[in-house]
Amino acid sequence: MGFVMTESSGPLSQKLFSTAKQYIPGGVNSPVRAFRSVGGEPFFARRAKGARVWDVDGKDYIDYVGTWGPAILGHAPISVIEAVHTAAKDGVSFGIPNPYEVEMARLVCEWVPSVQKVRMCNSGTEATMSCVRLARGFTGRDRIIKFDGCYHGHVDALLVAAGSGALTNGKPDSAGIPASYAGLTTVLPYNDVEALERTFAEVGHEVAAIIVESYPANAGLILPQPGYLQKLREITQKHGALLIFDEVMTGFRLAKGGVQELENITPDLTAMGKVIGGGLPVGAFGGRADIMDLLAPDGPVYQAGTLSGNPLAMAAGLAQLREMEKQNGYARLDELGKIMDSAVAEVLKKTGKEYQYYRKGSMFCLFFTSKQVHNLGDAKTSDIPAFRKFFHSCLKQGVYFAPSQFETGFISLAHSADDLARTAEVVQQALSEA
Ligand code: HOZ
């Protein structure tokens, strides 16, 4: 039996959400899922397979959120399922060194040459938090430079002018962070070389590190201007600061070696996550051995994690990364991306309106603005009410994009040319309504 969709969910989702809100803040375990930016109520997922997600009311969606990036093969790929099943039969957690961890560390160091040593953790937040602590421990300095709209997880030091959910919910600076703490974080506009040079001229001697999303994707997808990433590398080297690449989203997603491979940049530290866990909770951070060796138990910088290197998570991540290599996945994702490019160009031409569409590999974003987007200020010129209408029209038609203008879409190897063609039809209809 069909049901009358509210703005965004069916009766069982609504019932679940009503119950969830009694026990979980906002009814969600992570804010963007609450649909606050787009209105309506979230649907609840029953299952996901390939390029599709089914909600508890039986409706299916072509999914471009991909659990926010990890599902690069698509959902529930058989290679990952079988690897987890095999590992689980021998135990789900040891808290003891295990062979999976060694294999994962070896693979990461092989795929990402700047990573001479790596430590596993359980989220991107832990990875960036640990990079910041390491940078401060290694340099003996306190100041961190980040860029407005960049989101590096909910780390106290980095929840300043943050992107993703903080930006979506209009509170880029979280409550609960001491001013003395936030005061050690300098926020600069992304792609602004003058601001960078001026800041380093003033406080360069205080700067422990720059942390940057290699391609900012938590304010929508914002790409570096030519030479900008090289400038970050040069100015940090000149002033004895470290360069931390936050590749939690882009790592193992855009190339085996992430953005640093594509842009030929060698950061000092790299934060990783999402794809590396095959959908299970995994973060990782790594880089120069002389920096990483400061970590306990060898060095004075403490970092730990009960579930770090969990055998199931390692097995899932290894299976996913090996499958990507086996399928020549990065080349195939770029082919799918090119199909999307031409479909989008065709659709946007018909609207007669101006949008900004950006894509890199399997990551893409459509900004509802006529202004080219090079930084957060540009992104914030987007027409949010129009995006909101677009989002719900797509959802009703069975296509699920991120419930925020300030997020990025993901294509997986499970998306077919037919899925992309269907999506183009849906987008065309949705834009006509927006
Ligand atoms: N950091 C996630 C997207 N970039 C948000 C996930 C969520 O709130 O569910």
* Domains in the chain: boundaries: 11-76+328-433, 78-325
Structure tokens at 102: 């060694």
How large is the angle between the packed helices 228-238 and 193-203, nearest 10 degrees?
10
Dump pLDDT digits (tens) for 52-88: 999 999 999 999 999 999 999 999 999 999 999 999 9
From the list 55, 63, 192, 246, the catalytic residue is 246
Q: Which of 28, 29, 32 to mutate to test the pocket of ligand 1 (most atoms within 8 A of CB)?
A: 32
Q: How many CA atoms lie within 13 A of 53 on its CB side?
A: 18
pLDDT over 90 (residue 203): yes
Q: Which of 28, 30, 67, 154 to mutate to test the pocket of ligand 1 (most atoms within 8 A of CB)?
A: 30
Instruction: Say whether 23 is catalytic.
Output: no
Q: Which atom of ligand 1 is nearest to the CA of 164?
A: 4
Residue 291, classified by CB atoms within 10 Å of its CB into exposed (0-12), middle (13-18) or buried (19+), is buried
Q: Which atom of ligand 1 is nearest to the CA of 29?
A: 9
Q: Are 84 and 239 spatial neighbours (Cβ–Cβ below 8 Å)?
A: no
From the list 64, 100, 151, 190, the catalytic residue is 151
pLDDT over 70 (residue 1): no
pLDDT band at 3 (very low <50, low <70, confident <90, very high): very low
SS3 category, 279: coil
> pLDDT value at position 240?
98
Is 11-76+328-433's fold the same as 78-325's?
no
Dump pLDDT digits (tens) for 377-429: 999 999 999 999 999 999 999 999 999 999 999 999 999 999 999 999 999 99
> pLDDT value at position 216?
97
Dump pLDDT digits (tens) for 84-138: 999 999 999 999 999 999 999 999 999 999 999 999 999 999 999 999 999 999 9
Ligand 1 centroid to Cα of residue 26, in Å, is 14
Ligand 1 centroid to Cα of residue 420, in Å, is 24
Dump pLDDT digits (tens) for 164-194: 887 777 676 888 988 888 889 999 999 999 9
Q: Which atom of ligand 1 is nearest to the CA of 33?
A: 9
DSSP secondary structure of 168-209:
HTT-SS-TTS-HHHHTTEEEE-TT-HHHHHHHHHHHGGGEEE
> pLDDT value at position 434?
87
Q: What percent of the chain has pLDDT over 70?
A: 98
* Class in CATH terms, 78-325: alpha beta
Q: What is the CATH number of domain 11-76+328-433?
A: 3.90.1150.10
- Look up the pTM and report it: 0.96
pLDDT over 60 (residue 2): no
Instruction: Say whether 256 is catalytic.
Output: no
Instruction: Say whether 55 is catalytic.
Output: no
